[in-house]
C-alpha cells in the first residue's frame, strides 16, 4: 500500500470509529478525552458528533488549525505520562469516551508507546466507557469491539470498559 492509501484508511477509520463510539456512549454522562490534538481534525469531528459533551484535550505542544483549537480551560498541556495521572486525580474514572491518536510514522515505536500508555488510560474510563485508538492498546479486562462499517481493520481499534 502507498502512504496515501494508509493515510486515507486511517482518516476513514477514525471518522467511522468516532461516530460509532459517540453513538455507543450517547446515554452516558461524563466527558470525552482527546489524546493528541495535532492539526485538530479529529477534535473538530468529536465536537460535531459529541456536542454538547465536554471534551478535554491532552497535548504537549499546540499546533492546531485555529478552528480546531480548544479553549484554554479544556486544554491539558504536557506529556501524557504526566497529565493522565493528574487527570485521574482531578476527574476520577469518569470518561465516557477516550480517543487516542498519539503516534507518528514508525509502527514499532507506536506499538511500544501504546503498550506503555495503556495502563495510564485504562483507569480514566467510566464503567461502560469506550476507547478509540489508532494503535492496538494493551488493556486488561476490556472488551475489544467489532469495527463499524467503513473502518479498516488494523487502522483503528475500539475497546469498552466492563
Q: Which is nearer to ligand SAM, 36 or 93 (CB)?
A: 36
CB 42 within 8 A of CB 18: yes
- 95 with 124: CB under 8 angstroms? yes
Cβ distance to ligand SAM smaller for residue 113 or 139 = 113
**Smallest separation (angstroms) from ligand SAM to the CB of 104:** 7
Q: Calculate the alpha carbon distances from 162 to 78, 106, 128, 139 in Å.
A: 29, 31, 6, 11
DSSP characters over 54-116: -EEEEESS----GGG---GGGEEES-HHHHHHHHHHHH-S-EEEEEE----S-HHHHHHHHHH
Q: Which residues bind ligand SAM (CB under 6 A)?
A: 36-42, 58-61, 79-80, 101-102
Using the minimum distance from each CB to ligand SAM, give the nearer residue, 79 or 143: 79
Q: Which residue has its beta carbon closest to ligand SAM? A: 38
Name the minimum Å distance from CB 137 to ligand SAM.
Answer: 15
Smallest separation, CB 62 to ligand SAM (Å): 8
Of the pair 79, 144, the CB lying nearest ligand SAM is at 79
Amino acid at each position: 500500500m502507498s502512504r496515501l492509501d494508509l493515510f486515507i484508511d486511517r482518516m476513514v477509520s477514525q471518522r467511522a470509529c468516532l461516530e460509532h463510539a459517540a453513538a455507543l456512549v450517547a446515554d452516558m454522562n461524563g466527558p470525552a478525552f482527546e489524546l493528541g490534538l495535532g492539526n485538530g481534525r479529529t477534535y473538530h469531528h468529536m465536537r460535531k458528533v459529541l456536542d454538547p459533551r465536554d471534551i478535554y484535550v491532552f497535548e504537549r505542544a499546540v499546533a492546531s488549525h485555529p478552528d480546531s483549537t480548544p479553549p484554554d480551560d479544556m486544554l491539558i498541556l504536557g506529556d501524557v505520562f504526566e497529565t493522565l495521572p493528574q487527570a485521574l486525580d482531578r476527574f476520577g474514572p469518569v470518561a465516557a469516551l477516550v480517543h487516542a491518536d498519539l503516534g507518528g510514522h514508525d509502527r514499532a515505536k507506536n506499538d511500544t508507546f501504546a503498550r506503555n500508555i495503556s495502563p495510564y488510560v485504562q483507569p480514566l474510563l467510566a464503567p461502560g466507557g469506550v476507547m478509540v485508538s489508532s494503535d492496538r492498546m494493551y488493556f486488561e479486562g476490556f472488551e475489544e469491539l467489532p469495527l463499524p462499517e467503513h473502518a479498516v481493520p488494523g487502522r483503528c481499534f475500539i475497546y469498552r470498559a466492563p
